[in-house]
Amino acid sequence: MQSKKLARFIKKLSEEKKGVEPVILDVSKISDITRYFVIVSGNSSRHVHALADHIVESTKKKKNYPWHVEKDKDFSWVVVDHGDVITHVFYTSTRKYYNLERLWGDAPRIV
């Protein structure tokens, strides 16, 4: 699946599970690591866990296997790395703390 299409698919998956304020950032011109960030919040650690699981399982069904999944023990954040698309699933307060949208503020948002 093309990178941009995968990013949009992941955003749609997060919306299916009531993810809060999902956004796609095109970081391809300012990062050598990846092309797109998908950032979304959950309202509880259980919600963060459910969002991440849904993204991982649904992308696997489309033959897009994550390279790596990293999470903290309390599920205040989960990172799902699909290579060209990295998804950050945060607990709401953790997202505000790290503020990736500001940190990567030069990156255009994809609708």
pLDDT for 13-48, tens place per residue?
Answer: 999 999 999 999 999 999 999 999 999 999 999 999
pLDDT for position 20: 98
Architecture of domain 3-99: 2-Layer Sandwich (3.30)
Domain residue limits, the chain = 3-99
Query: Is the CB of residue 25 less than 8 Å from the CB of residue 108?
Result: yes
Instruction: Give the separation between CA 65 and CA 54, rounded to whole angstroms.
Output: 13
pLDDT tens-place string over residues 58-93: 999 999 999 999 999 888 999 999 999 999 999 999
This prediction's pTM: 0.95
Q: How confident is the model at residue 111 (pLDDT cuts 50, 70, 90)?
A: confident
The residue among 111 and 11 whose pLDDT is bigger is: 11
Instruction: Please state whether 69 falls in left (phi above 0), alpha (psi between -120 and 50) or beta.
Output: beta
